[in-house]
């Protein structure tokens, strides 16, 4: 089943049949967690979760990518007549968005927990 709830400043969506949890701060941050049963079974924007971070930025055809815009476009899906907007024409440096640096704290588990290595 699917359960959604509000926890602190996050909206949390749990999909028990998939072992998937998605947390969204309703602004910029999205955190995904998967159960160990899903290791080596993922692909896409969240990576492969196989203990090899070097292949997390892979195109759908399996080739690797280091350019974020190209990587994001490779997973773009236009369905039901919906069209994704292209990348913004004006790019602002990260320092213009101090809240983006807070993501580092949230991602620390990914860097320290052995199951994500």
**pLDDT-derived band at 84, boundaries 50, 70, 90:** low
Residue 117 pLDDT? 60
Break the chain into its structural domains and give their ranges: 2-112
pTM of the model: 0.54
**pLDDT-derived band at 12, boundaries 50, 70, 90:** very high
For every residue of 85-117, DSSP letters joined together read: PPPPSS---GGG-GGGGGHHHHHHHHHH-GGG-
Predicted confidence (pLDDT) per residue in 28-69, tens digit: 888 888 888 888 888 888 788 888 888 888 888 888 877 888
């Amino acid at each position: 089943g699917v359960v959604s709830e509000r926890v602190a400043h996050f909206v949390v969506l749990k999909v028990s049949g998939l072992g998937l949890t998605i947390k969204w701060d309703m602004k910029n941050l999205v955190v995904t967690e998967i159960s160990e049963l899903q290791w080596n079974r993922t692909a896409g924007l969240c990576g492969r979760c196989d203990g090899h971070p070097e292949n997390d930025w892979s195109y759908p055809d399996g080739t690797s990518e280091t350019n974020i815009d190209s990587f994001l476009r490779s997973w773009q899906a236009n369905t039901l007549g919906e069209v994704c907007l292209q990348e913004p024409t004006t790019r602002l440096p990260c320092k213009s968005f101090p809240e983006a640096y807070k993501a580092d704290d949230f991602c620390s588990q990914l860097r320290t927990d052995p199951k994500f290595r």
